[in-house]
Structure 1
Amino acid sequence: MPLTAPDPAYRDVVTRGFREAAFLAELGIALRDCGPGWCESALTLEARHLQHTGVVHAGVLSTIADHTAGGAAMTVTPADGYILTVEFKIHLLRAARGESLFCRATVLKPGRAFHVVESEVFAVSAGGSTLVSKLSGTMAVLPRE
């Protein structure tokens, strides 16, 4: 069943959430698109994103997965609320190598107080894309003050 957005300005809210997050800007993570119950982001990989072995650092994978999950959660949150991650578990499925990362997050279960969200991160190269990590998280819906 398709989800609906209780806030007609959800797209602006998610866009602002990506644009105003200084850490995302520092890493280069950018919003690609969003709709009711989902969000997509991407990152062009550079040497600064890699650990000493030449693969993408787990912190980069966690950050793109978590923030994109938060963006998906915001699409089903009322205008008087905001999202804060309560917990997440990330499975690092394989070493991430490529030219860029692509993340798609989906709300599995929206709720009044919490949303359950899942993110998948893909390493993208000329040969295609490979699923490299998967996040399951709980996002709290908090009142704006």
Structure 2
Amino acid sequence: MHALDPNYRKVVKDAFNEAAFLSAVGITFVDCGPGWCESSLRIEPRHLQHTGVIHAGVQATIADHTAGGAAMTVTAEEDFILTSEFKIHLLRAGTGDALLCRAQVLKPGKAFHVVEAEVFALAGERKTLISKLSATMAVLPRNRK
């Protein structure tokens, strides 16, 4: 993959730091490169559903935003990313101390990027894939009128 914006890393990092909802949830930027992005979340009781497993909404949020971050790494400076659609597969009940999400652009395009994100639950040395998201990200001009 090729980065179209030389400042892509700052753009992606700022997108995590300036998103009030992510801050409220506790999701943080880990790293990115052309075509990929990683984020993490330390699990707290507020992230669990009534059965004690990690809430699907938390998994969808980290996967969606990290997929958007990956898409931004291959987006031109004058454009931005907006999720057009996604589907998430909740593969198993998530338990653990933290989440790690890694998203990868499968197919960049002029109007849309296709991205996948995997969400892993971390418990000690154990890393378990708990969900996988497939998304279409729209590429839109920043100065829309």
What TM-score bracket applies, with the shorter chain setting the length?
Answer: over 0.9
The match for 2:79 is 81
- Structure 2 unmatched runs, 5+: none
1:127 is displaced (CA, Å) by 3.8
What percentage of aligned pairs have identical amino acids?
Answer: 69
Which residue does the alignment assign to 2:19?
21
After superposition, the C-alpha distances for 1:45-104 in whole angstroms (9 at most, x for unaligned) are 000000000000000000000000000000000000000000000000000000000000
Matched residue pairs, number?
Answer: 143
Q: Distance in 1 between matches of 2:88 and 2:19?
A: 21
What does residue 44 of structure 2 align with? 46
What is the root-mean-square deviation of aligned Cα atoms in Å?
Answer: 0.4
Question: Given residue 114 of structure 1, which amino acid in structure 2 is its aligned partner?
Answer: F
Of residues 94, 105, 109, the one that matches 2:103 is 105
TM-score by length of 2: 0.98
Which residue matches 1:35? Answer: 33
Residue number in structure 1 paired with 2:113: 115
The list of structure 1 runs, each at least 4 consecutive aligned residues, that deviate by more than 3 angstroms after superposition, is none
CA distance in 1, matches of 2:102, 2:142: 26
- Name the aligned partner's letter for residue 55 of structure 1: V
Query: After superposition, what is the alpha-carbon deviation per residue over 1:90-134, rounded to whole angstroms, capped at 9, x for unaligned?
Result: 000000000000000000000000000000000001141000000
The CA deviation at 1:140 is: 0.2
Give the structure 1 partner of residue 68 of structure 2.
70
The equivalent of 1:56 in structure 2 is 54
Aligned AA for 1:59? G
SS of equivalent to 1:95: coil
| Alignment partner of 2:3 out of 5, 8, 15 | 5
- Scaled by the length of structure 1, what TM-score is found? 0.98
Unaligned runs of 5+ in 1: none
